[in-house]
Amino acid sequence: MRRNWLDLLQIGKEIDTPDKKRRFNERHFTEAASRYDIATRAMSLGRDQSWKKELVAALPEIDEPLCVDLACGTGDVAFLLGSRFARGRITGIDLTADMVTLAARRNRFHNVRFACQDMTETSFADASIDLVTGSYALRNAPDLAKGLQEVHRILKPGGDAAFLDFSKSGRPEMQAIQYWLLKCWCGLWGTVLHGNPTIHAYIADSLEQFPPRDDYHELVRRTGFDLVSSRLFYFGMLELLVIRKT
């Protein structure tokens, strides 16, 4: 789809209801899939993989855990889980069929599998999962509260979930700086890799619609989780949040 820099200003309107956001995401990530791995490495200045390793390292030791990686994309976190929990079973789920196909093609682990599913309506039974992960996942949920409720539903009592994502400051001036930084930096990479600035610049808009850090933590608590730990990276731009179903 041919898009220009002016279209950057319209993205917010395309994701302002759960249905619109789900449709936008499926279209958007289908277009982004083929060069997604290059884009994440470039946009994070090569840091993405080490953040994902920290995410998996933050999980508790469990002998044979059932793990679900939400919005798995091309499978990075699922593979790290497969390696750390050799006796576990890992399922990576993603809305976008092209992402799931790429992840399955990269898969060298006997204990990792992938499926096409919406993170707000998964197929897992109640209280059946030991660990849930998500990198750049919940921010993409069509409805954040529903996404958290789904994590709560599928986790066993006492089960942990770890999420790595951009984090929004509570201060309006910081939010504005962060928004335009992401819009320009990610828009640039969308243009370089796809000839389409709206690809990846979407990160700024999805974060704009995401709650600031304290409100996000409050929502997590209200959903029935305890906060286990929160670590910030990159001047507070990213957060690694570990939570536990009470």
Q: Which of 8, 112, 129, 137 is the binder for ligand SAM (CB under 6 A)? A: 137
- Tell the smallest beta-carbon distance from residue 241 to ligand SAM (Å): 15
**Rounded distance between C-alpha atoms, residue 200 and residue 194, angstroms:** 10
- Tell the smallest beta-carbon distance from residue 120 to ligand SAM (Å): 6
Give the residue with the Cβ less far from ligand SAM, 140 or 198: 140
**Rounded distance between C-alpha atoms, residue 124 and residue 152, angstroms:** 11
- Tell the smallest beta-carbon distance from residue 49 to ligand SAM (Å): 10
22 part of the interface to ligand SAM, by CB under 6 A: yes
Structure tokens at 205: 């808009």
240 part of the interface to ligand SAM, by CB under 6 A: no
Closest CA to 148 of 217, 47, 48, 61: 217
Report the DSSP pairing between strands 112-116 and 225-233.
Answer: unpaired
CA-CA distances (angstroms) from residue 22 to 19, 44, 211?
A: 5, 25, 18
Interface of this chain with ligand SAM, residues 42 to 101, rule: CB under 6 A: 71-73, 76-77, 94-96, 99
**Other beta carbons within 10 Å of 174:** 15
142 part of the interface to ligand SAM, by CB under 6 A: yes
Exposure of 159 by Cβ count < 10 A (0-12 exposed, 13-18 middle, 19+ buried)? Answer: buried
Mark 26-45 with x for binding to ligand SAM (rule: CB under 6 A) and - for no binding.
---x----------x-----
206 part of the interface to ligand SAM, by CB under 6 A: no
Q: Which of 42, 59, 82, 118 is the binder for ligand SAM (CB under 6 A)? A: 118
Structure tokens at 222: 């209200």
Query: What are the residues binding ligand SAM (CB under 6 A)?
Result: 22, 25, 29, 40, 71-73, 76-77, 94-96, 99, 118-120, 135-137, 140-142
